[in-house]
Structure 1
Amino acid sequence: MALLRSSLNLPAVFRQLAGFWPDTRVKTSIIYLLAGFAMSNKIVKALPTAKQATPDYSTSEAGNPFVDGWYADPDTEIYDGLYWVYPTASYAYEEQTYLDAFSSPDLINWTKHPNILTIANVTWATKAVWAPAPISRNGKYYIYFGANDIQEDEAAEGKVGGIGVGIADKPEGPYVDAIGKPLIGDYHNGAQPIDQDVFIDDVDGQAYIYYGGHSHANVAKLNEDMISIGTFDDGTQFKEITPENYVEGSQMMKRNGIYYFMWSEGGWTGPDYSVSYAMSDSPLGPFNRLAKILQQDSEVARSSGHNGVIHVPDTDIYYIVYHRRPLSETDGNHRVLAYDRMYFNEDGTIEPIKMLVKDNFADGQMFNWKTYGGNWSVVDQRLTVANTAEGRALLDNNFTDLVFDATVAVTDGSGDAGLLFRATNLSIDGFNGYYAGISSTGTISLIKANAGTLTSLSEVGTSGYATTATEYSVRITAIGTEINVFVNDLTSSKIVYTDDSFAGGATGVIARDAGAKFGSVSVAKPS
């Protein structure tokens, strides 16, 4: 039985055991007997059926946001071989009455689990259900959440609100209120009871809850039941651990015996919202601020903060999962979920996070694209547009100097398709910017659009290029006023041109009098 309950693939185990008997009929009987026994004891569900590829990415390779919708404050767990993300629904406080979750086997394809917890199952919660923190223990699944946005004077007057705990039999819920009241409903050490994270130390199995708003952070022990607060050796229950610049968004992780405490700084609707961290050899600190590791990038997104962490098991691969605001969005609640790779220096410190821009369309989605004309969809991991007079699809970014890579193919029609950059005034009739296109007849062009009027800056007629439906690798480098266009050979440019008309803007793709498909999009700052 120890062999059957191991992490080995179950059919392989059967073959190994049956191999001890040479007679084929005996082998077959043993395999059926063991399979039936395993199924009757529900062993099969707990064992992997195939080895999954390690998700070793530089960012969300299929694009950020990686799920659709307005969400914030993500926290993460790994249950039964699936990666789980639990966020806040990013709407007005009165509309924050539920929690959704997302699961993925590969960090690319995500399944939405709606309404895993609602105020219908939490009698004291009425609004502002925030920042779920997931964890499992003793065969149960727990969600810790803030509710009601309770203020210090309201708590002193007996108003109900704070951090609650839901319990379920499955990661996707439904979660129900475990204790019928807040787990932490008062202010201790000035900390608003919100933005919690729960962490179980692998040294002694002790569970801790880290939380706090209003610029104060606390840590408390959780008892073995996970629904009551424990007591420290000195008789206290809440220890203040506030690091410099702490505002909210507590997060704890451990790597190589070191405890990493992370938090959010700045105002959640402002450009200064960001993530900083501290390192300690104790789960209780002290936590002395070391550096800011995630902050807005004016070319990619704003208000990036309130993070969780995904650690791919048995690797040194870590991702920071966080929310951010797209550049064109002005509503404070218009936040989306993103993740990027975390890298560590030899001394264990964390390198600053780079918010990368990629989309290989492996998830079959185009969440982060806005279209202007044309009928767009994702087909076979390519962003595809039907034959159109003019169709554009753009990312919500604002790059100045850039290296822009993608694959391009003209699928039908007599026109061209290519990469659009430094684009502004994105209405269908009057945009500004540049694009490098390939025509169905073999011409590579650099074109400038000024209020919608197109001017060819340079053309190269190259035999062997751009036959219909052939896919080509295209790279644009735009550094200052110099623009280079590469096709297939990414070491020798086909076009070099100097123009100072446009200094920055969005990146995207375009098709004119053609159908086209685009893939493997990557936009980065030059090294």
Structure 2
Amino acid sequence: MLSRQMLGLLSTLWLIAATKTADFETSEAGNPFVDGWYADPDTQFYNGAYWVYPTSSLPYDDQTYLDAFSSKDLVHWTKHSSILTTADFTWAHRAVWAPAPIYRNGTYYLYFGANDIQTDSELGGIGVGVADKPEGPYTDPLGKPLIGAYHNGAQPIDQDVFIDDDGQAYIYYGGHSHANVAKLNDDMISLGTFDDGTMFKEITPENYVEGSQMVKRNGIYYLFWSEGGWTGPDYAVSYGMSSSPLGPFDRIAKILQQDEAVATGSGHNAVIQVPDTDIFFILYHRHPLGSTDGNDRHLAYDRLYFNDDGTIQTVKMLVHDNFEDGNTIGWQTYGGDWSAETNALRGSASSSSNALLNTNFANFTYEADVKLLTRGGSHRDSTAGLIFRVSGTSNDTTSFQGYYAGISTAGTLFLSRSNGSQSTTLGSTKADIKPAQRYRLKVMANGSSIRVAINSKTPAVIAVTDDAYANGMDGVRVFKAQAEFDNVNITRLTSN
């Protein structure tokens, strides 16, 4: 039997390991962090796992069910399909939106909007499902909506449920540019009243559209909400602070919005807190660059940082991928064979092959680990590396317009430029490259200035001036080679 001291040590080591696992800047295994079209996420920590409950991003008539995802480490996610369906809610038949999970009194509750009602004469609004497991199935305890009409001009959608330290539960909700708060009774399926006898208090902050989210930290109540149109690029998240759960919530700042290099329409957020820490992440949905389908929405999360005065810093949508989840979500491949099953992105091609992220960086730092697996011999010209400022790709060819910085089996570091049909070497230098060894390759591009560096035993740098391509996608490339790529990190170039 383990001693009390040994049990304490193991518990401490486990806590350190758990905290270390979640203490990162963004989804280190890549955003989107799950596959599929999803939106409006909310989250809870249940039984040692993070649970995410999103809207299935489909045409309204097809939104008849909800899926969920769970993870013990915010990296490896398990999908739980159809945890709630309209088949179990006789009054709901479409537009099942924005689930809000919470646990109380041995029961798991999931609140949701349904039917997208536009008037009080329509049946629909905010419903609640109950289950004895986080993954459901959730069933209807009421046989009708919990909130089935407009109050203070607020469409009954986009709810969030919050239990305060004193045990009082609140529901925050509202669309059509109005936000309300109401009390929930201890049974969590009926509404209470405020001291003045009312059931709904309007708390609409400036620029509010929809997507209420309540978080409490260090005694401060934070109300988050979405601004702009959900199908467009201007969808964004703002917040207010208050000393009371009833507000007022004066708008302080917009903290999450589109990034023309990463994604657009970033909104409808939730907040993940790593238990027993001050580590927070903002969870949200966003549109891929260039997408024209309003339902083309995907789940992402990034770090949420607080200032000393409690205000929140602007969120940076970072681009990382360490492939620890074993998949290539977010990557588009062209030619060759690509897989991340070894927790690194492995590409193989008899001629050439590319894997690209849908990004559009101009001035940036791009780093990744590169391991060239092909040995010399008949393929002395085998290469692997990073491609950037890329355009002109198509599904039926591996040609592209842009730059290629890489290493070769001839032992060189090089930088070339491709115009789609011809490649021009801009710089090359000996770098003592050995096969099957990992090298950290780094590209710094600022306007026409491009620098490429590698951390080999013989450090090498290439510096050129070239203005052929100003911005574009980023990715990796193999040429007559097999190679592995890992720990991809792309950020805007910042000056000292």
TM bin, normalised by shorter chain, reads: over 0.9
Aligned twin of 2:136: 173
Match of 1:408 among 326, 348, 370: 370
Identity %: 61
* Structure 1 unpaired stretches of 5+: 1-9, 17-46
Q: Which amino acid aligns with 1:455?
A: T
Shift of 1:245: 0.1
Aligned twin of 1:25: none
Matched, 1:103 2:70: yes
Shift of 1:526: 1.1
Shift of 1:231: 0.5
Larger C-alpha radius of gyration, 1 or 2?
1
Contact 2:96 2:115 in 1 (8 A): yes
Match of 1:119 among 56, 61, 86: 86
How far apart, CA to CA, are the structure 1 residues paired with 2:462 and 2:269? 43
How far apart, CA to CA, are the structure 2 residues paired with 1:388 and 1:305? 43
Shift of 1:493: 5.4
Aligned twin of 1:500: 467
Contact 2:439 2:456 in 1 (8 A): no
Match of 2:299 among 326, 332, 337: 337
Aligned twin of 1:29: none
Q: Which amino acid aligns with 2:316?
A: K
Matched, 1:142 2:99: no
Aligned residues: 482
For residues 79-107 of structure 1, the C-alpha deviation after alignment (integer angstroms, 9 at most, x for no partner) is 01111110000011111110011111110
Shift of 1:293: 0.5
1:335-484 aligned within 5 A = 335-412=297-374, 414=379, 415-427=382-394, 428-462=397-431, 464-465=432-433, 467-484=434-451
Q: Which amino acid aligns with 2:62?
A: E
Secondary structure of the residue aligned to 2:340 is strand
Aligned twin of 1:27: none
1:13/1:144 CA distance change after superposition, 3 Å: farther
Secondary structure of the residue aligned to 2:87 is helix
Contact 1:387 1:516 in 2 (8 A): no
For residues 213-256 of structure 1, the C-alpha deviation after alignment (integer angstroms, 9 at most, x for no partner) is 00000000000000001111101000000000000000000000
Over the aligned positions, Cα root-mean-square deviation in angstroms equals 1.9
Q: Which moved more, 1:445-454 or 1:83-92?
A: 445-454
Aligned twin of 2:33: 66
Shift of 1:147: 0.4
How far apart, CA to CA, are the structure 1 residues paired with 2:436 and 2:46? 43
Match of 1:509 among 466, 472, 476: 476
How far apart, CA to CA, are the structure 1 residues paired with 2:60 and 2:416? 47
TM-score by length of 2: 0.94
Shift of 1:139: 0.4
Match of 2:208 among 232, 246, 252: 246
For residues 313-338 of structure 1, the C-alpha deviation after alignment (integer angstroms, 9 at most, x for no partner) is 11110000000011032211010000
How far apart, CA to CA, are the structure 1 residues paired with 2:12 and 2:178? 43
Aligned twin of 1:312: 274
Aligned twin of 1:26: none
Aligned twin of 1:291: 253
How far apart, CA to CA, are the structure 2 residues paired with 1:396 and 1:266? 23
How far apart, CA to CA, are the structure 2 residues paired with 1:127 and 1:11? 55
1:377/1:190 CA distance change after superposition, 3 Å: same
Shift of 1:49: 12
Contact 1:388 1:511 in 2 (8 A): no
Q: Which amino acid aligns with 1:149?
A: D
Shift of 1:379: 3.5
Shift of 1:167: 0.1
Aligned twin of 2:158: 195
TM-score by length of 1: 0.89
Shift of 1:491: 12
Q: Which amino acid aligns with 1:458?
A: G
Match of 2:452 among 477, 482, 485: 485
Match of 2:167 among 205, 230, 245: 205
Shift of 1:388: 2.8
